[in-house]
Structure 1
Amino acid sequence: MSSILTNTSAMVALQTLKGINSNLATTQSEISTGKSVGSAKDNAAVWAISKVMESDVKGFAGISDSLALGDSTVAVAQNAAETITDLLTDMKSKIVAAQESNVDRDKIQADIVALREQINSVVGAAQFNGLNLIEGTDAITVLSSLDRQTDGSVQAAHINVARQDLTASAGIAGTTALSGMTVADLGTITDANGATVTATSVATGSVAQLQFAGTAADGNVYSIDIGGNTVSYTADVTGGDTDTTIRDTLQGMINALGIEGITATAGTNTGELVISNTSSFEGMNIGVQAPASGGTLVIEELNGVTGLTATSGTIAQRAETIDFSTAAAVNDGDTYKVTVAGQSFNYIAGAGETMEDVAKGLKTAIDSNAPSGVTTQTQYNESTGQWSLAIDDSTGGRALSLNVTTGGTASGGLFGLDNIDVTTDAGAEAALANIETMIDTATEAAASFGSVAGRIETQSAFISNLSDSMKAGIGALVDADMEEASARLQALQTQQQLGIQALSIANQQPQNILSLFK
């Protein structure tokens, strides 16, 4: 049936042409914009994902800037720490030269002062954009990433950069009393005889009391070993040897060895030999060998312990020690104060420091202005992991004490640098030990900055690659396939022409009805 009111063929052709035109418009938009998903109406889910990823890419661009700033700041600090290490090494060579007594120590001291001033100059100049990583102890953070969680939330990630204080600041002592512990929980004072004390130093040194007993016989061999040096005597009873003459002979042989700090004397009892060690920081091993028969030889007393029957032991050093805890933590601002011979010396710990730092810091503090007759040495017990500060008072009888408070401002990593003085024998000797600690501090600082710089560099490269990967991912989601769009455009243009032709034919059909009325 034909109708002049309803042209079904024209309607079909028109709808077909509209569809073709719509697809053609979409294809032309893809070609002109380069995107297959240009707005939310094109594909809401894909558009939303792409926008989130685009925001992350922009965020990573900011992170790259943050990493670049952090890298530059750390690079300045690393360069400064390495320069300071070199300057301290040069200073060490001057200090070594000052160990000789026939050199011009005043000129060497002038060179050391010049190097010290140069170090201070480097410390002051080592800043980038106003931030100096070799002053103070507060750590800083560098924004390193934005981590998107599965629930859509975003968390910032950071690279922590610990400041490495290379100043010579003495710090500010804290005044807050310890809470929850006592001073003894952090360190105890042990005298030369191994007893825990709170009173005075002893200058007489430690002793080993040897006892000869019994009846000597011809051919008996008596041997005493001191620090690897052995003296022996074979008894000649027929020739008149007695316990006393054997003792006196061995006494003379021990003194003839010339071991520094070791002196042998006759005891008050018959057949008693007393061996004293007045060495400041060196204990001395001792061993005795008695004959198989015809008399005995034992260590009857050692370091204040009596009633022994020992054949070996160690005569302790003369110095007293502050033995620091192997369990307690060292906190930022903890102030360790040692009082010796009426003078007090402070070291204020910084963040992340250990008892090793405390022991070395106190040594430096005491050496900087040591009372007459007082010398120091840090000691480490490998079997227990304990650090100790040995303090020798050759004058003797003067009080030694330890006190700890909290709430201070940390001493600088090169604390004591300003007090190095090689114009005296004692000053030169102390400086040689303390400069090693300072070089270690500067070296560790440079290594720490180098490690952080490497991490920042790696993270920066990762962020760059990650941004490229995300851009590629976004492109895969929303970018148009131009080859496909080009082919589709040609096809749609052909379809459009055919659709127009079909609509034209359909519109001519009502004209054909007129022929029926002629």
Structure 2
Amino acid sequence: MSSILTNNSAMVALQTLKGINASLAKTQAEISTGKSVASAKDNAAVWAISKVMESDVNGFKAISESLGLGESTVAVARQASETVSDLLTDIKGKIVAAQESNVDRSKIQTDIDALRDQINSVVGAAQFNGLNLVTGTDDVDVLSSLDRANDGTVNASNITVTRQDLTSATGVLGTGTDLSANATLSDTAATNAGNTQTITLAADADVSTDTFEITVGGATLSFAAGDLTGDQDAAATAITSAINALGLVGVTASAATNVITLTSTRAFEDVSISGTKNGGAADITLSDTTIAERSETLTFSGAAAVNEGDGYQVTVGGTAFTYVAGKGESFEDVARGLKAAVDGGAISDVTTQVTQNDAGQWVLKIDNDGASSVSLARAGAADGEASGGLFGLGGIDVTTDAGAEAALGNIETLIDNAISAAAEFGSAQGRIETQSDFIGKLTDALKSGIGSLVDADMEEASARLQALQVQQQLGTQALSIANQSPQNILSLFR
């Protein structure tokens, strides 16, 4: 049935043409924008995912900038640490040269002072954008990543860079918890008096048929039968003379009746003794097998921990010397810090040494070779201001024999500290570089992922565009033909 009121063919052709035009408009939009999902109405789920990923990409761009800033800051600190290490090595060379007595130590000291000032200059200038990692003790966090969990929550991750204080600051003893119990002082005074042990010979009216062997400090005296004559008192006198004739440094012997008294004034070295008569020890009595070193000791706990800000003080002859531990330090650092402080005080005839005893405890030894007694005291307290990593640098003085000898040991500690600082910064810089490289690759991967979700396939879009343009032309012709149908009805009325 034909109708002039309802043209079904035209309606079908029109709807088809509208669909073709809509598809054509979408394809043209894809070509012009380059995206298959340009807005939420195109595909809400995919669009939402892409927007979250785009926000992450923008975040990682900021992280990359943060890592670049952090890497530059750490690189400056590393270079400063390496420079300080080189300068300290130069100072060591000067100190070694000062060990000779026939050199002009005052001129060597001038060179050391100049190198020390250069170190202070390097440490003060080692900043990037106002941040100096070789002063102070507070750690620095470098933003390194954004971690997105399955539930959508985001957490920031950081690379922590530990500051390495290379200043020569003395530190300030705190007023917190009393830590004195962690350090045990062997005596309240140090004197130059030597320690003694005795060798007692048993009563014997005639020693001419006897053999004796006496060992003192590794030197052995052997007496064959007939070498000694008389009774035990005469033997003690002869053995005493032989011991003194050995010329052992710091060791002297004296005889009183049948007793040989051995005295050692060696500061930091025990002296071993032994003795036999006729191959046995029954007729010789030793008060002990060792003459203890003369120095007094400050022994630190082998069980207690050392926290940042824990300070220890030793008072020598009325002068207090303080060292306050920094982050991650131990009693070894405390002992060496106090040694550097006492050595820098240049107390006449007072020398120090740091050792570790058989129990694993760190020990500061203090020896007095002067005629007058030197008083000793110790203290300790928490919550102080930490000493610098190059503490003791300013106290290096090679103008005296004692100062030159003390400086040789102290400079090794300072060099180790500088090398450790450079190694820490090098490790941190390497980690930051690795993370920066990863962030760059991750950002590229995210961009690629976003592209695979929302970017248009241009080859497909081009082919679809041409097909739709042909369909549009055919649809237009079909609609034109359908619109001609009512005109044909007029011929029925002619």
* Distance in 2 between residues matched to 1:505 and 1:214, nearest whole Å: 149
1:508 CA displacement: 3.2
Q: Which amino acid in structure 2 is aligned with residue 189 of structure 1? A: L
Aligned with 2:369 (options 394, 404, 426)? 394
Whole-angstrom CA distance in 2 between matches of 1:12 and 1:217: 143
Q: Does 1:252 align with 2:250?
A: no
Measure the CA separation in 2 of the matches of 1:213 and 1:504.
144
Q: State the secondary structure of the residue aligned to 1:399.
A: strand
Structure 1 residues 246, 49: CA separation in 2 closer, same or farther (over 3 Å shift)? farther
User: Residue deviations 1:299-319, cap 9 Å, x none?
Assistant: 3x23xxxxxxxxxx4432111
Deviation at 1:200, TM superposition (A): 2.6
Pick the aligned partner of 1:275 from 262, 265, 275. Answer: 262
CA contact (8 A) 2:35 2:455 kept: yes
Counterparts of residues 34-433 of structure 1 (less than 5 Å): 34-174=34-174, 176-178=175-177, 182-184=179-181, 186-190=182-186, 197=187, 199-213=188-202, 221-236=211-226, 240=229, 242-266=231-255, 268=256, 271-289=258-276, 291-292=278-279, 295-299=282-286, 301-302=287-288, 313-381=289-357, 384-395=359-370, 397-433=373-409
Relative to structure 1, the CA distance from residue 9 to residue 226 in structure 2 (aligned partners, 3 Å threshold; closer, same or farther) is: farther
Distance in 2, Cα, partners of 1:140 & 1:62: 18
* Aligned-partner Cα distance in 2 for 1:53–1:507: 51
Q: How many Å separate the matches in 2 of 1:483 and 1:227?
A: 95
Q: Structure 1 regions of 5+ residues with no counterpart?
A: 191-196, 303-312
Partner of residue 24, structure 1:
24
1:298 to 1:497, Cα distance in 2 relative to 1, 3 A: farther
Could you list the per-position Cα deviations for residues 467-497 of structure 1 after superposition, in whole angstroms to 9, with x for gaps in the alignment?
Answer: 1111111111111111111122222222222
Distance verdict in 2 for CA 1:324–1:294, change over 3 Å: closer
Q: Return the match for 1:459 from 435, 450, 460.
A: 435
Structure 1 stretch 71-80 or stretch 502-511: which is displaced more?
502-511
TM-score, reference length from structure 1: 0.88
Letter in structure 2 aligned against 1:203: N
Q: Which residue of 2 aligns with 1:309?
A: none
Q: Which runs of 5+ in 2 are unaligned?
A: none
SS in 1 for 2:409: helix
Change (3 A) 1:31 1:274: same
Q: CA deviation at 1:292?
A: 4.9
Q: 1:478 to 1:226 in 2, by over 3 A?
A: farther
Can you list the C-alpha shifts for 1:152-198, whole angstroms capped at 9, x where unaligned?
A: 12212112222222222222332x1416xx411x21123xxxxxx5x
Question: For residue 15 of structure 1, what is the aligned residue in structure 2?
Answer: 15
Structure 1 moving runs of 4+ over 6 Å: 216-219
Matches of 2:209 and 2:464, distance apart in 1: 119
Aligned mates of 2:73, 2:485 — CA distance in 1: 83
1:326 is displaced (CA, Å) by 2.5
CA contact (8 A) 1:233 1:246 kept: no
Question: Partner amino acid for 2:125?
Answer: A
Query: Which amino acid in structure 2 is aligned with residue 178 of structure 1?
Result: T
Match of 1:307 in 2: none
Q: Percent identity?
A: 60
| Offset, 1:517 | 5.2
Work out whether residues 24 and 489 of structure 1, in 8 Å CA contact, stay in contact via their aligned partners in 2. yes
| Aligned equivalents of 2:136, 2:86: Cα separation in 1 | 21
CA contact (8 A) 1:422 1:431 kept: yes
Asked if the contact 1:217/1:295 (under 8 Å) is kept, the reply is no
With over 3 angstroms needed to count, the CA separation of the structure-2 counterparts of 1:511 and 1:440, relative to structure 1, is same
- 8 Å CA contact retained: 1:201, 1:399: yes
The corresponding residue for 2:462 is: 486
Contact 2:168 2:392 in 1 (8 A): yes
Distance verdict in 2 for CA 1:27–1:240, change over 3 Å: same
What code does the residue aligned with 1:56 have? D
For the residues of structure 2 that align with 1:49 and 1:370, how far apart are their CA atoms?
A: 72
In structure 1, distance between residues paired with 2:292 and 2:451: 77
Aligned-residue offset at 1:439: 1.5
| Counterpart Cα distance in 2 of 1:81 and 1:101 | 33
What letter is aligned with 1:477? L
Deviates more, 1:361-370 or 1:502-511: 502-511
SS at the partner of 2:374?
coil
Aligned length in residues:
492
Residues 429, 32 of structure 1: alpha-carbon distance in 2 compared, 3 angstrom cutoff: same
Residue deviations 1:18-76, cap 9 Å, x none? 22222221111111111111111111111111111111111111112111111222222
| 1:357 CA displacement | 1.3
In 1, Cα distance between equivalents of 2:53 and 2:326 = 43
**TM-score, scaled relative to structure 2:** 0.92
